[in-house]
Amino acid sequence: MEFLDRYQQMVADAITKYTFKDKPTELYEPMNYIISHGGKRLRPIMVLMACDLFGGDLQQAVKPALAIEFFHNFTLIHDDIMDEAPLRRNKPTIHTLHGLNVGILSGDGLMLKAYKFFEDLEPEIFKACIRIFTHTGLLLCEGQQYDINFETQENVTYDDYIRMITYKTGVLSASSFEIGALIARANFKDAKAIFNFGKHIGIAFQIMDDYLDVFGDQAQFGKKHAGDIYENKKTVLYLLAREHGTEEERKELDYWYSKKTDNIDKVYGVEKIFRRTKVDEKALRLIEKHNEIGQSYLQKIDIPEEKKKPFIELANYLLRRES
């Protein structure tokens, strides 16, 4: 993925340049902490890639790209609080280190800082980007609420699940590409095509996340193994197991998902059903399906094929990941 190096370096340099030095340090240091453990920083890179694809000025896109990264990390802080997650990227989560109050406040601070990073854009582009950014944030909140609802909702369908992960994960990738395209002044049709590319890659990415939660290497994945099972998350693995399991297996899933417990027998019992119903293979096929749909939207953009290659490489890389 050498083509990413330049974008990653631009994002890293900008994060260093805009490190928070504000007071009180008790608020801003946790914000710096999560940003500094930034993982692959894929979403800000998506902003830069789309801007580049349509011949835009990358320097104009750097701060909006950081806005996406700040916003993404705000959602992770609050997500970890809601999930009571002890680890994020193999590091202790902010609320674990500093308590719930600091976790909530530092997340809020990151979200508000994100809005400020659009301020340098020209008024027309600023308005368009903020409209997308705000709508994305609201959809993400809706997706998170659906995710919470699913823990106690008895009948969750595959369509319910796809809507939830589209809102919770897909639209942020999609909007990152669209914002980059708008900064480069791409036309409406092309901006929507790159949005839809990002949406389906984001859906595939979340299905992979669900897959790795159970079937990935915990040390590489950087999260608690089978955390979704402990939390009664009705992921694609659960839905596929219900669809393809026997009546007895469905009853056993109902039993385990009716209680929230750290009992290792629960994880063992659910994993055994997942393996018997071969949901790992079925999930990987769904990932490939959404990858193909995403790339079909990429082909609708009237730009030389050579310029599209990095996007195909990025999608294939994301969906082969181990962590």
Q: Which helix (H) or strand (E) element contains residue 87?
A: strand 87-88
155 sits in the region (left: phi over 0; alpha: psi -120 to 50; else beta) called: beta
With cut-offs at 50, 70 and 90, classify the pLDDT of residue 90. Answer: confident
Each residue of 196-216: b (16+ CB within 10 Å) or e?
bbbbbbbbbbbbbbbbbbbbb
Separation in Å, CA 305 to CA 2, 30, 150, 310: 18, 43, 41, 10
Contact 170, 123 (CB under 8 A): no
The mean pLDDT value for 94-114 works out to 97
Asked if pLDDT for residue 322 goes beyond 50, the answer is: no
Residues 214-234 pLDDT 10s = 998 766 655 678 889 988 889
Give pLDDT, residue 40: 83
Longest CA span, the chain:
61
Q: Tell me the two tokens of residue 197.
A: 């590319």
With cut-offs at 50, 70 and 90, classify the pLDDT of residue 323. Answer: very low
Residues 130-180 pLDDT 10s = 999 999 999 999 999 998 899 888 889 999 999 999 999 999 999 999 999
Distance CA 281, CA 194 (A): 28
The mean pLDDT value for 286-302 works out to 95
Distance CA 30, CA 240 (A): 38
Q: Which helix (H) or strand (E) element contains residue 88?
A: strand 87-88
Give pLDDT, residue 142: 97
The mean pLDDT value for 5-31 works out to 96
Asked if pLDDT for residue 191 goes beyond 50, the answer is: yes
With cut-offs at 50, 70 and 90, classify the pLDDT of residue 110. Answer: very high
Distance CA 281, CA 85 (A): 27
Give pLDDT, residue 37: 85
Give pLDDT, residue 290: 96
Give pLDDT, residue 221: 57
Give pLDDT, residue 261: 81
Asked if pLDDT for residue 85 goes beyond 90, the answer is: no
- Please, what is the Cα angle at 48 between 121 and 174, to 5 degrees? 90
Residues 260-283 pLDDT 10s = 888 899 999 999 999 999 999 999
Residues 236-245 pLDDT 10s = 999 999 999 9
Range list of H helices, the chain: 4-17, 25-36, 42-53, 58-83, 94-98, 100-116, 123-152, 158-165, 171-183, 188-215, 218-221, 227-230, 236-244, 247-256, 264-276, 279-298, 305-318
Q: For tokens 């890659």, what's the residue?
A: 201
The mean pLDDT value for 16-30 works out to 96
The mean pLDDT value for 181-188 works out to 97
- Residue 240 burial (C-beta neighbours within 10 Å; 0-12, 13-18, 19+): buried
Asked if pLDDT for residue 39 goes beyond 80, the answer is: no
- Residue 14 burial (C-beta neighbours within 10 Å; 0-12, 13-18, 19+): middle
Give pLDDT, residue 218: 65
- Specify the pTM: 0.91
Distance CA 116, CA 64 (A): 9
The mean of the pLDDT values for the chain is 93
Q: What percent of the chain has pLDDT over 70?
A: 97
Asked if pLDDT for residue 321 goes beyond 80, the answer is: no
